[in-house]
Amino acid sequence: MSSKSVYIASMIKYLRFILPVLALFAASCSSVYMPNVPNTPMLSKQGEFSGGAHISLKGNASVNGAYAVSDHIGLLFSGSRMNSERRTKDFGHKLIEIGGGYFDTFGPDNNRIIEVYAGVGKGWSDITFRDFKDDVLISNEVQDVDYRKTFLQVNYSSKKKNNLRLFGTDFPINYGTALRISHIKMDRFFLNGVVQPKEDNIFFEPVFFTRMALNKTFQLQYTTSSNIGLKKRKYMSAGNSIFTIGIVVNVGGK
């Protein structure tokens, strides 16, 4: 392993431990912004396609797609949706993103991948809070938000496979991370139907994922993240993180 690969791997191990701890102090109890699972396609050559579908414990569903138009240029598409209805809180959310960028392989066996992507997105959130006393509704707050998004992310992943043995069968394991900076700016904000001052924020979203290969095409992916707001905001705050399980397909790669 080269010194560059050792340095990157060491930094990732450090970030895996320190960033989730920092997020506990930065996150608020609620936010109008629900992050999606970032696109981490692990592209390696022209003509490769990557797609994925992920779901969180909260019910936030994300889909990702990526295609390598050349040996170093990839195009991205992502979307997410959530519709949670509970007694004291309803949360509706939609988000779409498009982007593109550069990827390359390196390392002794070209089994490590660096990707740099940028893109834009559009999101909608519809949130209702209810406060009860003795089973009687005493207050109701409805937040209706449209926002635009720009993001820049750097992905590092490894196709160097370690095996996990289950039920007498070896399943190859690989891993990766995405360090994403997102700027979210409200286009419209209503509180109980009344126009409110618009907010924005810059979020640092470190994401870590582990993939277990089910066969040559399909992989099971576990994703976890932190969400850190760099500005102090009341509504556009860092109140949500990512914990999802999903299926990823890669076709046409090295």
Q: Sorting pLDDT into bands at 50, 70 and 90, what band is 175?
A: confident
Whether the CB-CB separation of 143 and 126 falls below 8 Å is answered with yes
- pLDDT tens per residue across span 197-251: 999 999 999 999 999 988 888 999 999 988 899 999 999 998 788 889 999 999 9
Q: What is the DSSP letter of 22?
A: H
70-98: string of b/e by CB count within 10 Å (b at 16+)? eeeebbbbbbbbbeeeeeeeebbbebbbe
What values do phi and psi take at 35, rounded to 5?
-70, 150
Residue 25 has a pLDDT of: 42
- The whole-model pTM stands at 0.83
Cα→Cα distances 5→11, 77, 89, 110, 209, Å: 10, 29, 46, 11, 18
* 244 closest CA partner among 24, 42, 59: 59
Amino acid at 64: N
The conformational region for residue 117 under phi > 0 = left, psi -120 to 50 = alpha, else beta, is: beta
Residue 133 has a pLDDT of: 86
Amino acid at 158: S
- pLDDT tens per residue across span 89-104: 999 999 999 999 999 9
Q: Is the pLDDT of residue 195 over 70?
A: yes
* Domains defined along the chain, listed by start: 3-251 (2.40.128)
Mean pLDDT of all residues in 28-54 = 89
